[in-house]
Amino acid sequence: MISYLIRRVLMLVPVFLAVSVIIFLILHFIPGDPIDNLLKVGSSPAARAEMEARYGLDRPLPVQYAIWLGKVLTGDLGTAIVARRPVLDMIAQALPHSLRLGGLALLFSSVMGIGLGVVAALNRDRWPDRAIMGGVLLGSTMPSFWLGLILMLVFSVWLGWFPVSGARSWTALVLPVLTIGLGGTALVARITRVAMIEAAGKDFVMLLHAKGLSPLRIQLRHVLRHALIPVVTILALRIGWILGGAVTVEVVFARPGLGTLLIKSLSQHDYPVVQACLLMLAMAVMLGTLLGDLLQAAMDPRVRAALA
């Protein structure tokens, strides 16, 4: 198991390198020169060259990449060009907000989604199933920023239950978590339902019935246990989606976080910050796949046997 863990983590290294190259290159294709934002209108070409040299923008691309990667690996994410602050500080400030939001949204989607998926599967093709799947479909088709604004309008403005925006109190988290969580719930409920129905048709379930176990016990202890294997795997893979949702929702609710930071620096062409944000999101996605594989091995002895 330990050797598998080491092998699995080592597999992430080339992926990380590939991602870092892509992130580095992409940013250099973005039109709009951050130096323009810093120079006063009508500055001399000499002043411009000096500025470029200060940020290392005058060197060849591979050199720039090597320097950048070296710094990133030692934890130095550079200085924001526009904000003129260490990028690491900005990330350190934003990350906890995004993690809290993403984590709670993930928790909400898992609990709600698995619960609704189980109820739907147990009542397959009867009205609770149709109602849940219908609601879930509707929930997944509303653009998240729109849903967020409507929730804000109803619960914060009309009913006054939650703060409109910001991140000063825990209650401010309710609507953002709900906004991301409804989309996630839809996904999880759908996968859970299909996985339950598929697992219920397996031979061993028939034998459990022949052993005289109660149907509810069979469904919850055995069928659900099986269905959770693909659900957890897919959920871990979708951590990226949850964070993607967080980007939009953070902007809508004016919450500090990676998403707000990303959108803001993207519009200001602040390369180092954008790069750092994308790296963080990429790392989250990679950790998600890792987590998915580990959970699958933890839940399924057959997978463990194949890895040993």
Partner 1 sequence: MRAVLRAFRRPMGAIAGGWLLAMIFVAVFAAWLTPYDYDIQALKEAYQPPSPAHWLGTDEFGRDLLTRLFHGARTSLSVSSIAIGISVLCGMVLGAAAGWFGGRFDRAVTVVVDLTWSFPEILIALILVAIIGPGTTGTMAAIGVAYLAQFTRLTRAQIMMLKGETFIEAARSLGAGNAHILFRHLLPNALAPVLVSAMLATGDAIILEATLGFFGLGAQPPTPSWGAMMSAGSALVFKAPWIILFPGLAVAITVVAINLFGDALIAELDIRARMRRAA
Partner 2 sequence: MSALLQLSGVSVAIGKAHLLEGIDLALDRGQILGLVGESGSGKSLTAMAAMGLLPLIGGRVTAGEVRFDGTDLSTLGEAGRRHLRGRRIGFVTQNPMTALDPVQRIGAQIDVVSRLHLGLDKAAARARTLDLMAQLRIPEAAAVAEAWPHQLSGGMKQRIVIAMALAGDPDLIIADEPTTALDVTVQAQILQILAGLVRDRGLALMLITHDMGVVAQLCDRVAVLYAGRLAEERAVGPIFAAPAHPYTRALTLCIPREGMARGSLHGIPGAVPSAAAYPAGCRFHPRCARADATCRATVPALSALPDGGLVACHHAEPGAP
Q: Which residues have C-beta within 8 Å of that of residue 137, sequence separation ≥ 6?
A: 186
Following CA atoms 140, 144, 148, 151 in sequence, which dihedral angle do they give, to the nearest 10 degrees? -20
Between the CA of residue 19 and those of 59, 90, 221, what are the distances in Å? 22, 21, 41
Beta bridge partners of 79: 86
Answer with the entry of partner 2, partner 1, none that 149 interacts with (C-beta below 5 to 8 A by kind): partner 1
Q: Is 17 in the site for partner 1 (CB under 8 A)?
A: no
| Nearest residue (CB) to partner 1, 208 versus 271 | 271
Interacting residues toward partner 2 by CB under 8 A: 202-204, 206-214, 222, 225-226, 229, 299-302, 305
Answer with the entry of partner 2, partner 1, none that 21 interacts with (C-beta below 5 to 8 A by kind): none
CB of 4 to partner 2, least distance (A): 17
Answer with the entry of partner 1, partner 2, none that 18 interacts with (C-beta below 5 to 8 A by kind): partner 1
Answer with the entry of partner 1, partner 2, none that 26 interacts with (C-beta below 5 to 8 A by kind): partner 1
Cβ-contact 193, 282 below 8 angstroms: no
| Nearest residue (CB) to partner 1, 104 versus 197 | 197
CB of 96 to partner 2, least distance (A): 36
Q: Is 280 in the site for partner 1 (CB under 8 A)?
A: no
Name the token pair of 146. Answer: 């729109």
Could you give the CA distance from residue 258 to residue 87 in angstroms, rounded to a whole number?
12
Residues 119-138 that bind partner 1 (CB under 8 A): 137-138
| Nearest residue (CB) to partner 2, 198 versus 300 | 300
Cβ-contact 264, 163 below 8 angstroms: no
Answer with the entry of partner 1, partner 2, none that 54 interacts with (C-beta below 5 to 8 A by kind): none
Residue with tokens 């469904």: 219
Could you give the CA distance from residue 81 to residue 74 in angstroms, rounded to a whole number?
20
Name the token pair of 275. Answer: 């790069």
Between the CA of residue 55 and those of 64, 78, 80, 132, 270, what are the distances in Å? 10, 9, 10, 55, 12
| Nearest residue (CB) to partner 1, 276 versus 285 | 285
State the residues that interact with partner 1 by CB under 8 A. 15, 18-19, 26, 29-31, 137-138, 141-147, 149-150, 152-153, 157, 194, 237, 240-241, 243-245, 247-248, 251-252, 262-263, 266, 278, 281-282, 285, 288-289
